[in-house]
Amino acid sequence: MTDQPAHVGLIPDGLRRWAQANDTTLAEAYLRGAQKVTQILLVLQRLGVQTVSVYNLSRANLGRSADELAAVYAASERFFREMIPAHFDPAACGVHVHGDLELLPQHYVDAAGEVEKAMSGNGFRVNILAAYDAVDELRSACARSAADGCDIADAFEIGEVDLVIRSTPEPLLSGFLPLQSQYAQLRFLSTPLNDLTEQDIEDLIADYRCFPQLRGR
């Protein structure tokens, strides 16, 4: 048996297709998606994962239709204000939002700020990537490295990812933490996010434990 994944990346994708296949609205699809992400976080925490980074919105995603973005923002606010506080101990769980928040509506930024302030534990870390762009992250790390006099590898706020789970079969990272994911195991799923079960997540972690993690060695 190999090491436990300490850091899991989650790319919750395919919600537009799920809405069409299930004859429902984007608002309902994204709300169910937020509920499913909460469930996945709980399973990963129970399985001993220390950090989960969730791809909420890339900067490129901000070019989507106003209706879709409204659905994403509404579900995200429910996630921040209701789901996270209801299911996680603020003394044990920390939530951190990464990205260019100036590009996001104020009501989203306010909800993100509230959950960051409320959830300040260090036992289980949840990173939310919102209006995230890898080049922006690299620029920020370079500036931080120069200001602090540290190696650039130590200037990134998010550490190395062990396992990336994307809830669509397309083998794409779509700009998700490319440096941190350079040695991650990548899993692209045929089961949509909203149809994933706790057993599905448990099986993915079990598979990881049985797969040699060589890190290029």
The chain-wide mean pLDDT, for the chain, equals: 95
Contacts of 112 (CB under 8 A, 6+ apart): 76, 80, 97, 101, 104, 128, 130
Q: What is the CATH number of the domain that holds 122?
A: 3.40.1180.10
Examine residue 215 and state whether it is found in any structural domain, yes or no: no
| Within a domain: 111 | yes
Q: Could you tell me the CA-to-CA distances from 150 to 13, 153, 181 in Å, in that order?
A: 36, 8, 21
Write the pLDDT tens digit of every residue in 7-34.
Answer: 999 999 999 999 999 999 999 999 999 9
Could you count the other beta carbons within 10 Å of the beta carbon of residue 198?
Answer: 13
Identify the pLDDT of residue 2: 54
Please give the tally of structural domains in the chain: 1
Residues in the chain: 217
Give domain status of residue 29, yes or no.
Answer: yes
Distance CA(95)–CA(112), nearest Å, equals 9
Extract the tokens encoding 201: 């997540």
Does residue 26 form part of some domain? yes
Distance CA 192, CA 14 (A): 6
Q: Which helix (H) or strand (E) holds 67?
A: helix 66-78
> Is the residue at 216 inside a domain?
no
pTM above 0.85, yes or no: yes
> Would residue 93 count as lying in a domain?
yes
Domain membership of residue 51 (yes or no) is yes
User: Which has the closest alpha carbon to 25: 79, 75, 77?
Assistant: 75
Q: What is the pLDDT of residues 162-178, one digit of tens each?
A: 999 999 999 999 999 99
pLDDT at residue 88 is higher than 50: yes
- For residues 110 and 77, the answer to whether their CB atoms sit within 8 Å is no
Q: Which domain holds residue 180?
A: 7-209
Residue 213 pLDDT? 72
Residue 31 lies in a domain: yes
Instruction: Give 130-146 pLDDT, tens digit per residue.
Output: 999 999 999 999 999 99
Q: For 54-81, what is the mean pLDDT?
A: 97
CA atoms within 13 A on the CB side of 168: 13
